[in-house]
Chains A and B, each alone.
Chain A
Amino acid sequence: MLELSNITLGHFILLSCVLFTIGMVGVLVRRNVIVILMSIELMLNAVNLAFVAFSRHHNLADGQVIVFFVMAIAAAEAAIGLAIAISVFRKFNGVEIRLFENLKG
């Protein structure tokens, strides 16, 4: 099932899936908000890898254009996320995810 000598599209996609799930695990189990943001970056990168692989597969550059934009957006989002984390840190003096349960029903 797992072909090791001929690298196909499937290999890259599988790798992308693995990276994505690792990132998701990070989002769900880590306590520190910054680490969660880093895990989100990891997920975005996994998606980037998938896009590039598909672009290579179909021989179209549009995939790479998408990756371009994703990178820009991801960087912007990381910046905003960190800015929020800073203002949160000023108020609560800690950045644990468990501190922000105010919307508890």
Chain B
Amino acid sequence: MTTHHILTLVLLFAPVAGFLFNGIRFRNQNGILAGTVATLAAATSFAATLLIYRDLLALPHAQREILVHFYNWTLIGESKINISFMFDTISILMCLIITGVGSLIHLFSIGYMSHDERPSKYFAYLNFFLFNMLLLVTGSNLIVMFVGWEGVGLCSYLLIGFWFKDAEKAAAGMKAFITNRVGDAGLLLGIFILFSLFGTFEFQEINARMIDVAGIPLSLLTAATLLLFVGATGKSAQMPLYVWLPDAMAGPTPVSALIHAATMVTAGIYMIVRMNPVFMATEITMTTIAVIGASTALFAATIGLTQWDIKKVLAYSTVSQLGYMFLAVGVGAFGAAMFHLMTHAFFKALMFLGSGSVIHGMEGEQDIRKMGGLKKQLPITHITFVAGWLAIIGTPLFSGFFSKDEILWFSYASSHGHFLLWLVGVVAAGCTAFYMTRLMALTFWGKSRVPKEVHPHESPLSMTIPLIILAILSVVGGYLGIPHVIGHALHLPNILEEWFSGKISPLHIENATTAEEVLLMLISVSVAFASATLAYIFYVKDTAKPAQVASKIKGLYNIVYNKYFVDEGYAKAIINPLVVFSRNLWLYMDVEFIDKATYKLTNFVQNSAEGLRSLQNGNLQSYAVYIVIGFIAMISVILF
């Protein structure tokens, strides 16, 4: 039992301890105690992560991985399924994000959920989620990862439908879980195919076997990776399984911050990055991922332009940003995807928590048409939100700029990339800038449209401290991954690329020059700047303009505002037929056929019993006749 075993146990089971403590006392109304215990549990995990990280740093560059093996769970044939955890450069980064940002969100929740009637249950679920997410990213094989995968799906359902007494919110939770499940079916099939190809579930072994690519049938490998990607679309809300994420805003806002911005939705990206040698070998899958990622980014960004709920705007923004990450892995830029994952975790969690602070200050109001001019009443929230806004639209020097730009560059320049992908990415970036500026303008700037009864107030310290910390990270986090084109000039290394170099081979760019890179960078920055200015004009200066534009393109606006009627389409094409089919199956198969068949059998037995019963009429002489008949039968048998 090495120190690493102990640290792993602390890392994983501190949240479990919090879950048990709060879960057993779930009726307890003392939110402060529950929240403090939960936050301490999360912070303990963070501390354990830091210790493991320090150990990892001590190792030489190329061998930065710590495998912690507990025991052999079971055997399939001769293949072992181990309970073991791997801490390498990829997973430790994920752990740091999960536990670090997670602890901040736990701290925020103490203030946010202070008036709730079941705070202990909430914190129990939150801790349990942390445990499952950590399982997911630290598992050294597909099985442990899958356990965590399912666990986070479960916690997502529990937390989205936390206020289950409201039928709509409960339905949102179910929608999330079911959509996830559809993706999980694909994931499982992919895992099975991989097992049949490689005979093992361990990531290390699979990735090592990929060196000898020629010996593996490509069609099976493509099928496996496509199915894994289906699972990723379910978990990370890409087309066509993204529909649960906007509805998931029915849950408490810190949940949206933790699960649907920073951690759970990044599980798909993590899985693909973890198995990057496998994905790199399948061209078709890579192209599919890139195309779906780019189109989702644009699709979601356009919907975000029209939404009035502050959280829905952020939700569609998340779907869009995840699309960027998938675009990155699709063109082979795994490092860039992880980088954007990290910066996105910072600024999106910040913005969700900020919106939570706004909602808390507005005493439950979420419609941005009823806000405005809040920068006076919520100063700290405003300043931190500005940091997040600048990061997401890609303002130079903020973290979002570095990561998003790297993705756009690689989507153009990589051998798997294409000019069209870059174009779609740029248009989506423009839309992002527009709707985020629109959000800022309608919420914080301009004239106040706040109703008379509401008195917005700033949030308490427990809520603003996480905001400040995340704002700082949103600003400086980008400097971990300065692209070479700038770094060369300033003699600053791309720390993140070096960090990943053991696990993720840097992408080779042929036939692309530095000049092209700078040009593209300038184009995307100017597009973003122009969009932001346009949005500022529309929503701060000339407030009548948006309505005028909307009325001119009424049909298109209607379609986009109604989310392209995707949910209605699913309901009509899939859900309703399924419900009708199930009902008919019940009515005709179960009630008519099976039940009737059962009754037929029972009736037959009853009737034959009645018939046999009539033989016993109490009449002695008929019994005597039966004896004679039996005797005759016996004699016949003997004689003949």
Interface residues of chain A, those whose CB is within 8 Å of chain B, are 24, 27-29, 97-98, 100-105
Contacts and interface: CB of A to CB of B under 8 A. Distances in A.
A28 B625 contact: yes
Nearest to B612: A105
B619 interface: yes
Given A27-B624, A105-B618, 15 more contacts: A27-B621, A28-B624, A28-B628, A29-B621, A97-B619, A97-B620, A100-B618, A100-B620, A101-B619, A102-B618, A104-B617, A104-B618, A105-B613, A105-B614, A105-B617
Contacts of A103: 616, 618
Interface of B: 613-621, 624-625, 628
Contacts of A98: 619
Contacts of A100: 618, 620
A101 B618 CA distance: 4
A31 B156 CA distance: 84
Contacts of A27: 621, 624
A83 to B, nearest CB: 18
13 contacts: A24-B628, A28-B624, A28-B628, A97-B621, A98-B619, A100-B618, A101-B619, A104-B616, A104-B617, A105-B613, A105-B614, A105-B617, A105-B618
B525 to A, nearest CB: 97
A100 B621 CA distance: 11
B616 to A, nearest CB: 3
Contacts of B617: 101, 104-105
A105 B624 contact: no
Contacts of B624: 27-28
Per CB-CB distance, the 5 closest pairs between chain A and chain B, nearest first, are A101-B618, A104-B618, A105-B616, A105-B613, A103-B618
A100 B620 CA distance: 8
A18 B498 CA distance: 116
Contacts of B618: 100-105
A28 B621 contact: yes
A101 B617 CA distance: 7
Contacts of B621: 27-29, 97
A78 B599 CA distance: 52
Contacts of B619: 97-98, 101
A29 B613 CA distance: 23
Contacts of A104: 616-618
B630 to A, nearest CB: 14
Contacts of B616: 103-105
Residue among B617, B621, B624, B628 having the largest count of chain A Cβ atoms under 10 Å: B621
